Chains A and B, each alone.
Chain A
Amino acid sequence: MTDSNPAPSLYKAREPIFPRRVSGKFRNLKWVIMAVTLGIYYITPWIRWDRGPSLPDQAVLLDLAHRRFYFFWIEIWPHEFYFVAGLLIMAGLGLFLFTSALGRVWCGYACPQTVWTDLFIKVERMIEGDRNARLRLHRQKKMDARKLRLRLTKWFAWLLIGLATGGAWVFYFADAPTLLRDLVTLNAHPIAYTTMALLTATTFFFGGFAREQICIYACPWPRIQAAMMDEDTITVAYREWRGEPRRHSPAAEAGAPQGDCIDCMACVNVCPVGIDIRDGQQLECITCALCIDACDDVMAKIGKPRGLVDYIALSDEEAERGGKPPRNIWSHILRPRTIMYTVLWAAVGFGLVFALFIRPEIEMTVAAVRNPTYVTLSDGSIRNTYDVRLRNKNNDPRQFRLFLKGDPTLRLQLEGTPYQVIDVPAEASRLQRVYVISPGASAPSEGDRTEFRFWLEDLTNGDRAYNDSIFNGRGS
């Protein structure tokens, strides 16, 4: 320690934050984004989508019991989970792109923690009043009837929001109208109630009490984003060269020409994470831009141009200090880094769409049974066994004919049926044991490995699929 002062306290109580109401274009944008994101979250499970009689008619449904994921016209089976992996990669790259271009724009506008905290603060303000009223209420030590009433009303409102949040979540995993009826009549599965209770509690606690503590201490993203940002990233900053020396500062008191900042603390009072943007870039800042709205408002009142606190790129500082205008915003955003992220993001996206289009309607996977590798039959012929899984992704039951191409001595036989046709019900998969037999004196029987190909034909429309496999002879 280079510090010679007495050791400071190792722990520090949270300082309550009472953000003041603010209006302006960024505030309006945030309201719109809140309405859209919450709207998507709450409404999506209720959208219906007709898939025929045998399938659920919910547009977005994670059917864990039947291992299907339905997304409008797309239906994902478990073996196609790579689509989900692809979407996660796209989400990651998208986050990189937006962070390198616009800083912590995700944190400031779209992160659920921000959106719900914003909503909770709005509710708090509607019930307890704006910053000064809330501060007074906070400082009032005595819990009188009024304070108790306000607190209880607020907590009740928060709990309702939390309940709606948890409630909406479970609808993604079951038929929403049925589940709602079951929930209300207390017939739903305990897991549904547990999930709702858990999400209600976490929403209530994170949105009402933890708030910025989650962003500062719990979330890894503020740490990671430092590597995503550079001096061309557009972020919320204070034009110190224009504002300083601020009013009341020692320099201004000493008679230096005063900057535009009148030290009215408007930017600090509206901040939901309780920082002073004039101190520069800080880990706590989620770039919600409310300080921009607050400062613009003040600048308008004192007749100064807007943008003392603004979205700027740090690389413009030198030009602006020299009195030159900042570079065009697009010249900051379009740089190799963001272009690379965009290209990667689009490539994964195109890949997924492409994979979606070439996805076959019939599928077959063949697992050769290698315990044992082959069986000798009483007439001396050699038999290999294969577990063939057939998937019928159609809405109706289908018949599939299985045959093989390869050495002419190889003969195919299905377990449990003398025919080579397999019935697969609609939207289902079926496991069929298949035998391939070669007579005792043939080349495949005497040899080591013989390659051949399983062919599958959909007898309804003639579609075909194939799978290569190996026949093991005595020499193997």
Chain B
Amino acid sequence: MSKKSQKFEGDPNTTGHVWDGIEEFDNPMPRWWLWTFYACIIWGLAYTVAYPAWPLINSATTGLLGYTTRGEVAEAIAEVEEANASINTRLAEADLTAIADDPELAVYATSAGAAVFRTWCAQCHGSGAAGVQASGYPNLLDDDWLWGGDIESIHTTISHGIRNEDDPDARYSEMPVFGELLEKEEIAQVSNFVMTLSGREAQDPSMVEAGAEVYEYNCVACHGEDGAGNRDLGSPNLTDAIWLYGGSYEKLVETVTYSRYGVMPPWTERLSEAEIRAVSIYVHQLGGGE
């Protein structure tokens, strides 16, 4: 601290800077400030010994405390998992259809399921679960389900997946490649007919009648006489407004000619039962659950 002796007696000690006649005192810094500075340096050095710091050729010093950021994350994850262990057990053991009636379990499952969905499902189904329109990744928000939209059907689909070799219980169905079975003319006819099933106008109305005949011989077994599909077989409903691979005439011709083969992996290997149930609950409450 400056004393009057410095300011008013003898030669005032200034920095020599002058702004508009205003001079600046060159007061000494407090000694404790210097000691604080030294203490910080010592602290800093000690820190580099205690924690990973000094770079070596292939790695870095690990520090005496054995701290790693990865270890910290693993610890935090283990902590959360431990805290959730009991509710996860409850979730895995509860009656699937009764979960929605248990508010605590339902809220937990929805939140946990959202996390599982963003990690494992969003790659195909999108972060908003809207799928990819007309490209074969189903929209999970709507009320149209290939394999059923009640909680148990969703749970089965997620557990075993669709058309995969890894799980014997996978959902399985296969549409024939009609390009090898039918003439081009017939494919054009049946495509025109299918357009009318969903109440739309055919591309070429003159072909509809012939198309109905092709449909009856080739398609009814799976898609039904009325075209409403069959969830047991995973055959899509052709009468509604939702087209997994696009509903235009060109897309229908493509689908009939080459068939479609959408796949989904089974999740029992990678996710726990509680996680599968959580994501089932999450998908079920997105707006299309039955």
- CB neighbours (8 Å) of B130 from chain A are 371-372, 375
The residue that A372 contacts in the complex, of B30, B128, B237, with Cβ under 8 A, is B128
Q: How far is the CA of A273 from the CA of B33 in the complex (A)?
A: 18
CB-CB contacts of A9-35 with B at 8 A, as 1s and 0s? Answer: 111111100000000000000000000
Interface centre among A8, A273, A274 (most CB of B within 10 A): A8
- CB neighbours (8 Å) of B3 from chain A are 15
| B14→A213 contact, CB < 8 A | no
| A378→B142 contact, CB < 8 A | yes
| B26→A8 contact, CB < 8 A | yes
| B33→A11 contact, CB < 8 A | yes
Segment at the interface with B among A55-63, A66-74, A141-149, A379-387: A379-387
Please tell me if A458 contacts chain B, counting CB pairs below 8 Å: no
- Beyond the given A377-B241, A416-B100, could you list 7 further A-B residue pairs with CB under 8 A, ordered by the A residue number? A3-B11, A5-B13, A8-B28, A14-B32, A213-B32, A380-B241, A440-B241
Given contacts A3-B13, A213-B32, A377-B143, contact A12 B1 (CB under 8 A): yes
| B4→A279 contact, CB < 8 A | yes
> CB within 8 Å of A: which of B1-53?
1-4, 7-8, 11, 13-16, 26-34
> CB within 8 Å of B: which of A298-326?
none
- CB neighbours (8 Å) of A378 from chain B are 142-144, 237, 240-242
CB-CB contacts of B230-245 with A at 8 A, as 1s and 0s? Answer: 0000000100111000
How many chain A residues sit at the interface, stated as a range, is 35 or more
> Which A residues form the contact surface with B (CB < 8 A)?
1-3, 5, 8-15, 212-213, 216-217, 273-276, 279, 284, 369, 371-372, 375-380, 383, 385, 415-416, 433, 435, 440
- CB neighbours (8 Å) of A3 from chain B are 11, 13-14, 16, 26
Q: How far is the CA of A257 from the CA of B207 in the complex (A)?
A: 127
| A276→B31 contact, CB < 8 A | no
| A279→B7 contact, CB < 8 A | yes
Q: How far is the CA of A276 from the CA of B4 in the complex (A)?
A: 7
Given contacts A12-B1, A279-B8, A435-B287, contact A375 B139 (CB under 8 A): yes
With both chains docked as a complex, state the minimum distance between the C-beta of A370 and any C-beta of chain B, in angstroms. Answer: 8
With both chains docked as a complex, state the minimum distance between the C-beta of A368 and any C-beta of chain B, in angstroms. Answer: 12
Please tell me if B127 contacts chain A, counting CB pairs below 8 Å: yes
Please tell me if B153 contacts chain A, counting CB pairs below 8 Å: no
Q: How far is the CA of A5 from the CA of B26 in the complex (A)?
A: 13
Closest to B127 in A: A371
Given contacts A279-B4, A279-B8, A415-B287, contact A375 B141 (CB under 8 A): yes
Closest to A15 in B: B1
| A385→B287 contact, CB < 8 A | yes
Task: Kindly list the 3 A-B residue pairs having the minimum CB-CB distance in the complex, ordered from nearest.
Answer: A371-B128, A378-B240, A380-B241
| A11→B28 contact, CB < 8 A | yes
The residue that B34 contacts in the complex, of A2, A11, A376, with Cβ under 8 A, is A11
Closest to A213 in B: B30
- CB neighbours (8 Å) of B128 from chain A are 369, 371-372
- CB neighbours (8 Å) of A369 from chain B are 128
Q: How far is the CA of A13 from the CA of B241 in the complex (A)?
A: 85
CB-CB contacts of B114-146 with A at 8 A, as 1s and 0s? Answer: 000000000000111010000000010111100
Q: How far is the CA of A383 from the CA of B11 in the complex (A)?
A: 84
Q: How far is the CA of A369 from the CA of B127 in the complex (A)?
A: 12
With both chains docked as a complex, state the minimum distance between the C-beta of A414 and any C-beta of chain B, in angstroms. Answer: 11
The residue that A375 contacts in the complex, of B2, B27, B29, B142, with Cβ under 8 A, is B142
- CB neighbours (8 Å) of B285 from chain A are 415-416, 433
| B14→A2 contact, CB < 8 A | yes
- 20 residue pairs from A and B, CB less than 8 Å apart: A5-B11, A8-B13, A8-B26, A11-B29, A12-B27, A14-B1, A14-B30, A213-B30, A216-B1, A371-B126, A372-B126, A375-B130, A375-B139, A376-B241, A378-B142, A378-B143, A378-B241, A383-B141, A385-B287, A415-B285
